[in-house]
Structure 1
Amino acid sequence: MSLRRVVLLRHGQTDHNVDGRMQGHVDSTLTARGLGQARAVAPELARFAPARLISSDLSRAARTAAEVAAVTGLPVEYDVRLRETDLGDWGGMSIVDIERTTPGAIDAWRSDPTWRPPGGETRVEVVARSVPLVEELDAEYADAEADVTVLLVAHSGVIAGMVSGLLDLPQTVWPAVGGMGNAHWAVLGRRPGKSMWRLTGYNVGLDR
């Protein structure tokens, strides 16, 4: 038996989402709607019967994870590797403002995983820091007595990156892995005795 499934949940709606501002490592706050989204999806996530609940330490993810914990009874563990992409100088800015100061920068960032926002990190670096968490969990549960599911609460950019990395997609394909809606999730699983991850669900949610 082993780690057989990884569920990656994005946090609920934040004040920055409403205002159209970039977040990154900026510690934005869940709105009332975002908190309601987290509460609504918690029972759905509990159906996966996760053995572990691990969250980004940024408050929007941690607050979302707390709602899942209230339903599953699992303690929330925190790992900084699940933080959103560090956007550097872009943190807190709107796309309109970024385009005004550096025309074409947003398209370059979205289309090239090696492109770095000023003072921030590339998507390649995001994958390099986040995927090892799953690899460590995989090693930890290599001799588990039963198949294990882990639930990771994170952010749109890091989830897209982790999915790309865990599926071993070529970097040229990474930009095709779209963003994640608030309080939506992705599911990666694998067959018994197999090491290769398969994507079984992406951007799944209740759409509330």
Structure 2
Amino acid sequence: MFTGTPEVYRSAGWETFPAPSWHGVLPAAVAVPGHPHIRTAGPDDLPLLMALRERFDRERPLTTLRTAEDWRCRIPRWYDDSCLTLVTESTGGGGTAEPGGFVVARLPAHRTEIVEIALTGPAPAGTAHALLAAVADRARAAGRTEAVVRLPDIPEVRGAVRRLLPAAEAVTEYTGMARPLLAPREAVRATVTAPGAVHWFGDSF
């Protein structure tokens, strides 16, 4: 469960768990590094995003996995037309486009919220930097001045945040809550606090 009022649920056995985030001011000019082509994803890219997400999560145990129904029914509602989804592509040896990852950002007033990333291919650190820089460039062009990054705390993400937002403040957020049902409380907590794991949600109330 994800909520902005956790105290309401503690008496029913729910406990908060930490999630990393970084908060900073976008640079006035954002340099997007040389990298395989970055483009905006469209509705026809859904199978591509699914494949990238699956490949990225395959080696990261304890991450919540999405079902086909999630992708078909929930993702279009979670990430509506106000969101920005960017995909990296390069031209392979056979002349075909080879994706390297994607990023999703929301653009509320005054800031951008980077909420999802998937990194594949041989250079995930470079891909992460290019994707975050491309989001920042588009956010600045749209008049946003601040950024909140809510991505897994892995070396590639930390490095990209430091390069893009060198003065960013690391903030631990506690909107996620978990309650054991059939598993021991310690096992549940180990799952939701696993380093680098991501637990998706469509609403926080």
Tell me which of the two structures has the higher relative contact order, counting C-alpha pairs closer than 8 angstroms and 6 or more residues apart.
2
Which one has the bigger helix percentage?
Answer: 1
| Fold similarity call, TM over 0.5 | no
Alignment TM-score, normalising by the size of structure 1: 0.30
Which one has the bigger strand percentage?
Answer: 2
